[in-house]
Structure 1
Amino acid sequence: MGRDRAALGDAFGASAMLGNLIFNIGDVNATASMQTPQSRKRPRPIVSCLRCREKKLKCDRLMPCQNCVKSACRADCTYNQQPGAESQSPPKRVQLTEGEHYQRTIPAIAGVGIIEDLQMRVIKLEERLAGPNGNWGPIRDAPVQSSWPQTDTTQSTSHFLGTLVVKGSRSRYHGQNNRTTLLNQFADAKTFINQCSSDSALVGLAKEVQFLQSKSQLVMASPESLSGLDTFPEMQHLLNSLPPKPVCDQLLEVYTKIFEKTLRILHIPSLLRQYNDFWDNKETHSSSISFFVPLLTSILTVAVSFETSPPLPEYSSSWEYLMQDAPDLISDWLKNLPRKQTVELCSLQVQTIHLLSCQLRLVPVEEQWKASGVLVRSAMTMGLHVNLSQATNLSFFQAEIRRRLWITIVELDLQASIASGMPVMTPALDFGPLTPNNLNDEDFDESTPNRPLCKTLDEETDSSAQIILATCLSQRIRAMNMAQNTNARENIEERVKQGRELEEYLLSVSPHLRLKPELGSQDPSLVFQRVLLDISLRRPLLCLYRPVITNAPNNSSDTSFYEVQRVCLDSSLEILSYQDYFDPNISDIEVSNLNTYWNAFGILFQNDILLSALSICEHMRLSNQRSTIHSPSNDVSSETPSHYETHTKASLIRVVENALATLTRRIGEKNSNMKDILFLAVVLHSVRARGTAEQRVRTISQGAKKALSACRQHLLTSAAEQSIGLQLADFVQLIQSNESIIPPGSQPQLPPTSQMPDLSQSSLLANEFNNFEMDVFSFDDESFTWTM
């Protein structure tokens, strides 16, 4: 009983103490409401990143911080920044207006507690920060040097790697690999091109080149050619317009030899069985024809880009159909598919091959990027991104074809991202279970119940090249995502680390898949497959490293920077060397259709040639800056790896000149662009120019005129061969006068403008040429925006 009384007394004592505590807090609140506010400690500036603040972690205040690096969320490492005035110290707290201060003092007079008062202050502060005119704002990828440092607005603003071009109500974003963006790297070239309108000789040459291009190039297909499709089904039109069997036989063989080793989409034995059954039973309109005819037509539209002329003259109409009308018919067929047929594997194969056809037909890269995004989502709608190894309702044949198709779709999406400078649409996935097996097509078919015994990676199969691409697909996608990061200087070590992984994959390619000098005398389709594989592996690596070189300071002596520069130079030289395999003038391959592969190389890799040549020019430009900045006694060459001594400036200039000659020789082709040639010529001569500013401008001007004159020479010769309407005497006069423009010798000297031949001298083309509207580049706004 005594023990119970003691416990009861303790309880009453605790209750009394709690009551006194509540009373004391109330007294404090009352006193605080009647007296002046007591001084409080100065709020410490918040210098931790927002994620560490949310997780209540200790932040090391780096960019990105160590916690975000360990959590694999570098992009979420964001800081709040308070810009302060240069002449005043940072304010101790957010300044409120008089009305806000009056509203906040009213609750205190009413006897609101300290906790409630602080809560209301926090709410007010959050509302102020969340407003459009808040004093602070999230800054991504901005280093925090000290507590609330003074930051220049030009440095804190996020800069894209591309260029936004606005013309009235129109706007277009050019990716980092577009010439509009690349020109910003070469100040002398940009200044010269923006002043080209004052040089009448240069403008006249450009007009003549573009006029001759309009005469020599084939007219691309237009939507107007599809009039009448609304009167009957697209399928019937595709069936009736299918080329004869000899044409299909030739083009089907071209497609399977070139693409069905690296970009696997089909199973060749099954395709050939369907192909033979189709021609044997063409008149019986079975359900399989409704998918096979579009599939076969899409294959033909890809292969026709590799065959410049039909085998017989009577097949010329089939060539014209496949190059102009057939791609649009395939596109209409895909758009009008019923909902259930859109999830057919064959329809997805048609869509994938159609995207490859768009690349060969020079559809704008932004359209290819949008189409690849749609293709990725179509594949994901069908579940191709899901690991179905344990699924029992799919045969091994179906699962394997799905793996091949998915890897090819992701590869096309990655290449479209590289070409357009836009993000990769494929999400981050584990591609290990989705990688095809190392099997030949003859090892399995539709009736195969279980997976056959796979060959080792050292053994060459029909899928070896695709497996190489698939094993490093995740790393290449991560490299491209990192390449989109504009802060190239801050994360150079991380880029080098990612780049070394890609280099390891390049070195780990099996010997039977590597390019070797002795391959020059072998089957050109085999060499082409090796080139396609190698360049596909190098493209993400160059995109990852180019921003580092572009944003490097003039006096950069970091060893990581030299490693980046070495890789870019070596890869660029390697890509440019691949032209020698297919160039009919110097190649060792003795086949009758070598021009076919030379043309295909120019279509698929022309942008790689241009970018590689510009990378070499960038290397020479940085070398010139180092030799100017550093004195002989403190030469940077002592810190530079010895491999730079193996490439002299003269040898690099010769390589770029060969690339320029290659682009010039293809000036009459559909995918050629005079602007690329002029751009590279101006950049090359801006890098090699010496002397005063006037002498440099003279050298650049002579180089540009020499390049355009060479383009005109090729176009005149091509026009004479095609007999576009000029008399032979007119061509002889133009060609002879044009040859007198550039005298033999190494000095790019040109005669006065008055001595240059004029196309308007030709009586037959005088009126047409004089009325020709030149569409070269924009000079009105003094910006090198080209044609949108």
Structure 2
Amino acid sequence: MAGQGGPRKRRRPAQSCEQCRHRKVRCDRNIPCGPCTRARSSPHCSYRDRSPSLSSSAIGIIATPDTPHRQPLVTGAFERRASSHMTPTELGDTNLQPGVELSLGQIQHRLQLLEDRLAALAKNPSLTRDNQWLEKALHDLTEKTQNIEQQLAVAPQLAHTQLTGDNGDLSISNIPPRLHASAIDFKDLKADLTNVVKDCRALRKSIKSRQSVTLNEPVADLHSTIPPKLVCDELVQCYLRTFGSMYRVLHMPSFWKSYRQFWTEPKFPPVSFLMKLVLVLAIGTAFYSNSTGRVNNQFTHLKQKWVYAAQWWFTGPSEKTTASLDGLQVFCLLLTARKISGLGTSHVLSTSSLIEMAMRLGLHIDPSNFPALSALESEMRVRLWATILELALQSSLELGLPCNLPLGFDTRPPLNINDQDIGPGKPTIALPSMPSNEWTDTSVLLLLHESVKPRMGIVQFVASPGRKSYQQALQFTADMRLACRELASAAQTFEASKASQGLGLTDFHKKFLDIELHRYIVALHAPFTVQARKDPRFYYSRKASLESAMVIASYANDLCLPSGPLDDFSNLILVGSGSFKGPLALDIISALGLELVTQLEEESSPQSLFSGSENELAKATRAPVVRILEHILDQLLQIISLGSPNLKRYNFLAAILAQLRAMQSNQCVKRVVYETVTHGIQECYGMLQSMMAGIPQTPTAEVPIGMAAPAAPGLPDPTSTQFGFHLVDPIFDIDLDLASLLCLEGIDDPSSSYL
């Protein structure tokens, strides 16, 4: 301090920020300073009458009022602060919130302006250093930088939380359905394809109208449509050796008794038995040995008439009288016959209605709660309930819908006994169940029933919205693999029994059951397989899906059209629909196609570590999958030539194989796919023309060519079945939006089916 008489000394300017001076704490002179940064209230850190000195940990920023929004330049200070929170990969790949990228750009640009202005200050001391606006701008930009850096640091954690779920369990979201598609620029190719698709659609409608029956009223004389007894005998045997011994709908001693009476006294059979008979015959036509070898043969119209007659009886004026075990048996046979007849599923006659009807009759309750029931009635109730479970699970998996089954139903499984052990004149109390390794009439149904609980869980898991727990999916996979092993073990046991007693699993049952169990594994891992293309933690799903899909697809090798005799299973996949397509189903084609596309993408990736020899090994590993897909493609074309106008699966598989060829040869994928699909539809159109010429006009002569046959009142239109390629992607996304490629201008109602 100077004396009173001496000159007054000027006070040294304060170096601390205003907030630290007020709190009387030591300031580290950074911007913002350490104490202000650590303060809970996060105060505004500001300096008075000073130009801040830049330190290595601070960001010096300056801007001019007339240029605050120019494009960014990256500065070393900002790069150091950002890199302390995130890696360069994370900075480039993180999905930022809206506006974050723009804010980063603005700050980077203003940082560059700051450095320029600071350099000017150093060169020209005469410029003012007391700039309050400069100080405020410095603080605002620094605070904004910190906020954005915090968002960048949190973004990977948010992404991880979205992938793993709130509880830390590895999970993913459902695959969103895609109902719309965008067009692509191949106008000339698209015009050609549009024309051939128009012609193909019109011709296909004409074929379907001629193949469909016209029912404006119930079949007046159903009796007259039944073939001679020798033919009926063989058709009934065809049913018994396939679905009759798997879905235990009928008590065969009782059925044979009524069947004999029908031929000795044919005038007044019970209507319920007549409906059972015609549906059994309709199912048996798929396996009839004396057919012409074509998809459409002498039974094409007959089986449709039988199915529609049963539907009319079941849902028509006599609907109240069908609420019985007889009506339930007809319902089960009707759902199976629709899939055999190419009519597919019905939104009116669904498994949900079947379950509701069965529960009204109390089939979900253990028959021991009803003491008045005989042994035959008790056993038929549990057999029917077990069959209904199978039909319901099968339908739910096909449609991707939850199964409307009651929780905690207490019905016991069927007994391992033969039909002849129960019935009129037999003891009212059922015999004890035989050992599981001893073959009986119920053995096939019991093999399916053993895995009903995990399959029910998988159906609910697949159909439920929300996130999918990977741990739960792995547990379901373990359960299904155990069921597959038990099936293989039982097949070997029954094979020995068949050798000694002539009774055991047929090839039809072994193939059907093996495919049925593996289908659940493919569906279970579908969303995880798609996610595995980006996240290697889901690689097991790729492996499990590929293995199960190949098991199913391998059964296509037994189908060798057009030559060679067909076994029962080949006949089923030839005429069936939905899951009855087996190795020819679209979900299996999609699963194998996705794996091949994913492998090629991995090999062509810039980050790929594959060498030349490893590429050759990978190509050799893919060869069996490619061969089976090419064989399926050839068989699908042969099926079309045999009279089936179903073109969807053939063209989709042709497009997948074209995509693989284009990827291997580095060609334009969309162009190659377009050319392939155009050529395929043109080839199919020629087959449809030949098919049209060979169809007699007599059954539907009253229907003009090109118009659909009228449907029976109250029943689904017989021509509106699942023959089309609806604009919904298959279960797997293969980066091949065939719906987009075939969303063509100039075609009426593009949302409807085209093939």
Is TM (by shorter chain) over 0.5?
A: yes
* Letter paired with 1:621: V
Matches of 1:272 and 1:329, distance apart in 2: 22
Aligned residues: 545
1:506 paired to 2:506: no
Question: Which of the residues 236, 251, 264 maps onto 1:280?
Answer: 264
Is this contact kept in 2: 1:439–1:461, CA < 8 A? yes
Q: Choose from 653, 657, 679 the match for 2:626.
A: 653
Asked whether the 8 Å contact 1:439–1:463 carries over to 2, the reply is yes
Q: Please list the CA deviations of residues 593-625 of structure 1 after superposition, one character each: whole Å capped at 9, or x if unmatched.
A: 897456346772168533212211101122223
Higher mean alpha-carbon deviation, 269-278 vs 421-430, is at: 421-430
Unaligned runs of 5+ in 1: 1-40, 43-83, 88-141, 152-156, 166-183, 185-189, 639-643, 726-775
Q: Deviations over 1:330-361 (max 9, x none)?
A: 11211236576333211110111111122223
* Amino acid of the structure 2 residue aligned with 1:162: P
Aligned-pair distance for 1:710?
4.5
Separation of aligned partners in 1, 2:408 and 2:302 = 37
User: C-alpha separation between the residues in 2 aligned to 1:677 and 1:657?
Assistant: 11
Alignment partner for residue 364 of structure 2, among 385, 392, 415? 385
Q: Would you say 1:473 and 2:438 are equivalent positions?
A: no
**TM-score computed with the length of structure 2 as normaliser:** 0.62
The 1-side partners of 2:465 and 2:429 are apart by 48
* Superposition deviation, residue 546 in structure 1: 0.8
* 1:267 maps to amino acid: H
Structure 1 residue 330 corresponds to structure 2 residue 296: no
Tell me if 1:394 matches 2:373: yes
Judged with a 3 Å threshold, the aligned counterparts in structure 2 of structure 1 residues 695 and 349 are, in CA distance, closer, same or farther, namely same
Shift, 1:464, TM fit: 1.6
The verdict on how the C-alpha distance between 1:85 and 1:549 changes in structure 2, with shifts beyond 3 A counting, is closer
CA contact (8 A) 1:495 1:544 kept: yes
Q: Which residue of 2 aligns with 1:22?
A: none
Distance 1:607-1:516 versus aligned 2 partners, 3 A rule: same
- Offset, 1:656: 1.3
Distance 1:538 1:694, change over 3 A: closer
Structure 2 counterpart of 1:437, which letter? L
1:276, CA displacement in angstroms?
0.7
What is the aligned partner in structure 1 of residue 753 from structure 2?
Answer: 787
User: Per-residue displacement from partner, 1:222-254 (whole Å, max 9, x unpaired)?
Assistant: 5x5233x4xxxx7x7434554443332222121
In structure 2, what is the Cα distance between the partners aligned to 1:221 and 1:423?
32
Matched, 1:620 2:635: no
The answer to whether structure 1 residue 599 and structure 2 residue 590 are counterparts is: no
How many Å separate the matches in 2 of 1:691 and 1:487? 37
Matching of residues 49-448 of structure 1 within 5 Å: 161-164=176-179, 198-207=189-198, 209-210=200-201, 213=204, 219-221=210-212, 224-227=214-217, 229=218, 237-239=221-223, 241-283=225-267, 285=268, 289-307=270-288, 319=299, 322-336=302-316, 338=318, 341-365=321-345, 367=347, 371-430=350-409, 433-446=411-424, 447-448=426-427
Pair 647,389 (structure 1): closer, same or farther in 2 beyond 3 Å: farther
- Conserved? CA contact 1:514–1:530, under 8 Å: no
Superposed CA deviations along residues 642-669 of structure 1, whole A, max 9, x for unmatched, are xx96962233222211111111111146
CA RMSD of superposed structures (Å): 4.6
Q: Is the 8 A contact 1:298 1:330 kept in 2?
A: yes
Separation in structure 2 between the aligned mates of residue 317 and residue 698 of structure 1, nearest angstrom: 39
Match for residue 580 of structure 1 among 542, 547, 557: 557
Deviation, structure 1 residue 505:
0.4
Match of 1:611 among 576, 587, 591: 587
Match of 1:19 in 2: none
CA deviations over 1:206-231 (Å, ceiling 9, x no partner):
45555665566673445x5233x4xx
Counterpart contact for 1:524–1:597, Cα < 8 Å? no
- Whole-Å separation in 2 of the counterparts to 1:426 and 1:251: 33
Q: Distance in 2 between matches of 1:366 and 1:723?
A: 28
Task: Give the Cα–Cα distance (whole angstroms) in 2 for the partners of residues 395 and 475 of structure 1.
Answer: 32
1:690 aligns with 2:663: yes
In structure 2, how many angstroms separate the alpha carbons of the residues matched to 1:578 and 1:524?
20
Q: 1:295 is aligned with what amino acid?
A: K
Residue 259 of structure 1 deviates from its aligned partner by 0.5
- SS of 2:514's equivalent in the other structure is helix
Over 3 Å counting, the alpha-carbon distance change for 1:541 and 1:633 in structure 2 is: closer
5+ long unaligned stretches in structure 2: 1-39, 42-96, 101-156, 167-171, 699-740
Bigger RCO (CA 8 Å, 6+ sep): 2
TM-superposed deviation, 1:477: 1.3
Aligned partners of 1:215, 1:281: CA distance in 2, in Å? 41
Distance 1:695 1:391 in 2: 69
Give the AA of the match of 1:226: N
Aligned to 1:562: 539
- In structure 2, what is the equivalent of residue 449 of structure 1? 428
| Cα gap change, 1:278 to 1:318, in 2 (>3 Å) | farther
* 1:557–1:352 distance in 2 versus 1, CA, 3 Å: same
* Structure whose alpha-carbon radius of gyration is higher: 2
Partners of 2:483 and 2:187 in 1: CA distance: 45
State how far apart, in whole Å, the 2-side matches of 1:704 and 1:395 are.
60
**Greater mean alpha carbon deviation, residues 359-368 or residues 243-252:** 359-368
- Deviation, 1:275, is 0.7
2:474 alignment partner, SS class: helix
Distance of aligned partners of 1:306 and 1:695 in 2 relative to their CA distance in 1, 3 Å threshold = same
- CA gap of 1:359–1:163, structure 2 versus 1, over 3 A, is farther
- Check whether the contact 1:475–1:502 (CA below 8 A) recurs between aligned residues: yes
2:370 is paired with a residue whose SS is coil
Match of 2:517 among 529, 537, 548: 537
